Chain A
Amino acid sequence: MNTTSHIADLFKNKYSLLSFDVAQISISREKILRGLGMQLHDADEYLLDLIEQSVSVAKEMLDAKGGYIVTDEFSINIDSHTIEIQGMMFDTHKQVTLLLKKSECLIIFACTIGDEIEKESKRQMALGNALEGYIFDLIGSEFAECVAEQIHNEIETKVAKKDLKVSNRYSPGYCNWPVSDQHKLFSVLDTANCGIKLTHSSLMMPVKSVSGLLGIGKDLRRVKYKCDICTDKNCIMRKK
């Protein structure tokens, strides 16, 4: 048996759709504060209460879904900085291509938290409550990241049973990988798209959605994301 079918054995179906247990999804107030340009010691009780209340309201609005496919039909081309997946050429660029080169299987995923939190954010903004609206938006973003993290964790746990590792996850639109490749990604994902729609300009709807790619293999590593490798100096999530 070759390695890749060995990995594929771990996944019952080529496509997997996941739904999430809300109780498992938690976010730290520090993350929300960072989006507001603050650290914990900058915040007063009023703000901390507001964040806490908003998080519990938002939790009730979560409609988290995720889907992924696992494939061994791919080839990684280090010279042209591309990855071909099921006949589709992805312009993944140097960094992502190199980091995935030891993959034995690839996972392509997308996930979303639904659009209720986004609607609540817009409703608050329309009422003139910009702070409340912005906090809901930040919570939505954080939940979306959280859901992506859970998919990643689930796959990591699954493959660990066969002594395999996962890489970090990479998304179109980051590390010079053009966001327009979203169209190819969604065509590979096919029915595992969990209802996310892609606009002509590659925007996923609901907005609070994340898509990406990760590798599985013996010689891969998942490392903590570090801000210093990113060039986005204005990023609201940048650790100061």
Chain B
Amino acid sequence: MDKNELLTKLAECVEFGKVNKAAPYPPTMKGQDGADELTKQALEIGIKPVDILNDALIFAMDKVGEKFTQKKIFVPQMLISAKAMNVAMEHLKPFFQSGEVKRKGKFIIGTVSGDLHDIGKNLVAMIVEGAGWEVIDLGVDVDAAKFIVAINENPDAVVGLSALLTTTMPNMQKIAAEIKSQFPDVKLVIGGAPVNDEFRDEIGADGYSPDPQSAVAYLNALVA
């Protein structure tokens, strides 16, 4: 396979969710190499990591996002594609670390103190990572101090706060205030079932996203 063929094939694997050779999904690609094998091969034949990232992986995830918005695919396909993308990204990790390849930016995310819900936050983290961002996941029950430490270490990061109960929304408000008072320029985006754009306005956050796709759109617009 030449360079272009390989990148096209890799992009297909991500678009249709072929994670690796052993993966049963999608049935039409059974037994074929997946994102895992093809990324390794691409690096072996000397394709530049940055080209793998942009021309295959991000290119494919953009298509996935587009198809999702047009309701041509649904959450499951989206999650399988994100998994294929993230498996491929594992091979690129050394190049991210060396600084040879850069992601779109950093995204710190956590569920606010008092709240232990993580499924929504995890889905957002995974999709944002799949869209080419470096995600720093602080977990659940995260207080302002922990967010501040992470921002100090990554001052250019965008910060995402999640809450699922109305009782933890006041904590979100406190954390937002604390972050903004120390880092007025840090962009804050919030999400979770009980929050909305009105609440975002009230607590002085910059963005509210009801789902991972609009969070990606928000983040991408910041770096466009």
Contacts and interface: CB of A to CB of B under 8 A. Distances in A.
B116 A203 contact: yes
Contacts of A46: 24-27
A171 to B, nearest CB: 12
Interface in A2-48: 36-38, 42, 45-47
A195 interface: no
Contacts of B168: 201
B114 A128 contact: no
Contacts of B74: 36-38, 42
Interface stretch (B58-66, B78-86, B181-189): B78-86
Given A46-B26, A128-B86, A134-B79, A234 B166 contact: no
A91 to B, nearest CB: 13
A22 B85 CA distance: 38
A125 interface: yes
Nearest to B127: A130
B117 interface: yes
Given A46-B27, A234-B193, A202 B122 contact: no
Interface in B162-177: 165-168, 171
A201 B115 contact: yes
Contacts of A134: 75, 79, 119, 123
A234 B118 contact: no
B223 to A, nearest CB: 24
A164 interface: no
Nearest to B170: A201
Contacts of B117: 207
B126 interface: yes
A122 B87 contact: no
Interface residues of A, number: 31
Interface string A197-221: 0011111010100000000000000
A148 B118 CA distance: 23
B75 A203 contact: no
B81 to A, nearest CB: 10
A130 B137 CA distance: 15
A178 B57 CA distance: 45
B114 A125 contact: no
A207 B211 CA distance: 21
A131 B76 CA distance: 6
A47 B25 CA distance: 10
B51 to A, nearest CB: 24
Given A38-B75, A131-B79, A133-B122, A199 B116 contact: yes
Nearest to A138: B119
B204 interface: no
Contacts of B83: 128-131
A130 B122 contact: yes
Q: Which 8 A-B pairs have the closest CB atoms?
A: A201-B114, A131-B79, A130-B79, A201-B167, A36-B75, A137-B119, A38-B74, A202-B167
Interface of A: 36-38, 42, 45-47, 121-122, 125, 128-131, 133-134, 137, 173, 178-180, 199-203, 205, 207, 232, 234-235
